[in-house]
Amino acid sequence: MAFEFQYRDSARTAPVRIALFPGAWNPPTIAHAMIARSALSWADEVIWILPKAFPHKGWEGLGFDLRLRMLKCIAAAEPGFSVAVAGGGLYVEMADEAREFLGRGPEIGLLCGRDAAERIAGWDYGKPGVFDRMIERYPMLVAARAGHYLPASHHAHHIVNLPMPPLFDEVSSSEVRRRMAVGEPWRHLVPEQIAGALAACSGLLSS
């Protein structure tokens, strides 16, 4: 399955810059929403992407359709957000799929948090130079999460650092799942548009 829009902000007809925001979304959190908003300082449109497969984890917890529905609810509530699915699970695969779909027009950047940026830069792609070539084609927009991302010196000019308030450092999907599993308050950690859907399927989430 290749890149395909599931929801698109109707006002984003000819964006000059697009930020791709891939994730597992199990579930989306208010930290994710803040990262997406921060990216609008660089991009005209932020596309939340749900891949069909993950390179570093199995498929567990919330089902694909529910995750997709939650992303659509979040995107519909704020200007500048769109939602797409992708066939590949690696950032470079999703970016290449988006480039093929969108054509040569818009500049494409890859959006993530500091922890994800470190994982992407250090990933074993099976052959040398994959990350170098990726970041030359697609700049990385990296949100500060418990500190700023410190890239290798030869990658620094391809990195756009996005500020994030420290109060979001401890907000994560795994923390939401943990709180739901032990009966602690969790609704304040997810966008209000999806809290009801999550409450209805709390049994699918575990720490």
pLDDT reading at 1 higher than 60: no
Count, residues in the chain: 207
Whole-number pLDDT of residue 47: 98
Q: Does some domain include residue 158?
A: yes
Whole-number pLDDT of residue 55: 74
Instruction: Calculate mean pLDDT across residues 73-90.
Output: 95
Q: Does some domain include residue 207?
A: no
Q: Does some domain include residue 53?
A: yes
Instruction: Calculate mean pLDDT across residues 77-95.
Output: 94
Whole-number pLDDT of residue 207: 44
Mean pLDDT rounded to a whole number for the chain? 92
Task: State the residue range of the domain holding 24.
Answer: 4-202
The Cα–Cα gap between 203 and 207 comes to 11
**pLDDT-based confidence at 146, cuts 50/70/90?**
confident
The per-residue pLDDT for range 150-168, each reduced to its tens digit, is: 999 999 999 999 999 999 9
The Cα–Cα gap between 176 and 32 comes to 13
Instruction: Calculate mean pLDDT across residues 110-133.
Output: 93
Whole-number pLDDT of residue 206: 52
Q: Does some domain include residue 88?
A: yes
Q: Does some domain include residue 130?
A: yes
- CATH number of the domain encompassing residue 85: 3.40.50.620
Whole-number pLDDT of residue 186: 96
DSSP 85: E
Nearest Cα residue to 143 out of 33, 26, 20, 39: 39
Task: Report whether 99 contacts 91 (CB < 8 A).
Answer: no
Instruction: Calculate mean pLDDT across residues 97-119.
Output: 94
The per-residue pLDDT for range 10-38, each reduced to its tens digit, is: 887 789 999 999 999 999 999 999 999 99
Instruction: Calculate mean pLDDT across residues 129-149.
Output: 93
As for how many domains the chain has, the answer is 1
pLDDT reading at 106 higher than 90: yes
The per-residue pLDDT for range 181-207, each reduced to its tens digit, is: 999 999 999 999 999 999 988 766 654
Q: Does some domain include residue 99?
A: yes
The Cα–Cα gap between 26 and 61 comes to 7
Q: Does some domain include residue 104?
A: yes
Q: Strand, helix or coil at 160?
A: strand
Task: Report whether 75 contacts 7 (CB < 8 A).
Answer: yes
pLDDT reading at 3 higher than 90: yes
